[in-house]
Amino acid sequence: MNSTKIIIVGYPKSGTTWITRLVAELLQCPVAGFWAEPDNPEIAIEGAGRQSPYNCYKSHHQYRELSEFTEFNDLLPIYVARDPRDVALSGSHTLVQQSSASDQAIRLKRMIAAVLQGDKDVHYWCRVSWKDHVLQYLEQGVFYLRYEDMLDEPTRESIRLLRYIGLERNAEQIDSAIEKQSFQAARERFLQRDDRWRAHFLRVGTKEQWKSELTPEQLAQFDEALGPMLIRLGYTPSSNAP
């Protein structure tokens, strides 16, 4: 019997690794890998021994790319949106590290440009802007959640996810899944295996770092380019932030 394929998709550094693992934990199904890349040693892979009618996959594909797969009508997509200002900050620590730029300020400048305009030289999946990536899914009415809401209200958002998929879990099962897939628990598992790269990849699992780490000029760039999109997704424009 074929499994139902659940695709957790988002722009790079939007929390897709964490949420893919959390969904799989809630469903007690495997994270089978990165969608359409069977040889990719994806960081989210785990739970190979779980027996389930579901399989979870992580993805950064654009909607137009995902829709070209022959299995598309059988996929169950979940989109993860994250504040693009924090996406830029997180990406500057991991995605730009392969460049010649050793200075954090230079890496951040490059990552901001990638988020706002797209830049395949920063990362293949950043070749389109954050706005273009998000809009493709919003315009198709794909179920989405915000990374920040998962941090603040993981139980509520887990229930939303389960209802979308068509399943129920009791409070104890939901609390257990959330605890097992917390950033701290996941990082400790990586460190116990001496997998420091994956532990570093998870970063800190917080929100609104942009308030203290971006300059007024950088914040103005986001407001100018993404003001209406920030408001549409429930984010406070930088000019209105306390």
* Tens-place pLDDT, residues 40-88: 998 889 999 999 999 999 999 999 999 999 999 999 999 999 999 999 9
pTM, full prediction: 0.90
| Residues comprising the chain, all counted | 242
Per the prediction, the chain carries an average pLDDT of 89
The residue type at 92: S
| Tokens at 87, concatenated | 């996406």
* Tens-place pLDDT, residues 182-212: 867 666 655 556 555 554 555 556 889 999 9
Is residue 199 within 8 Å of residue 191, measured between CB atoms?
A: yes
pLDDT value at residue 182? 80
| Largest pairwise CA distance in the chain | 55
Note the helical H segments in the chain.
Answer: 16-27, 63-66, 84-94, 104-117, 130-139, 147-152, 154-165, 171-180, 183-192, 196-201, 210-213, 216-232
Domain edges within the chain: 4-237
Q: Does domain 4-237 have CATH number 3.40.50.300?
A: yes
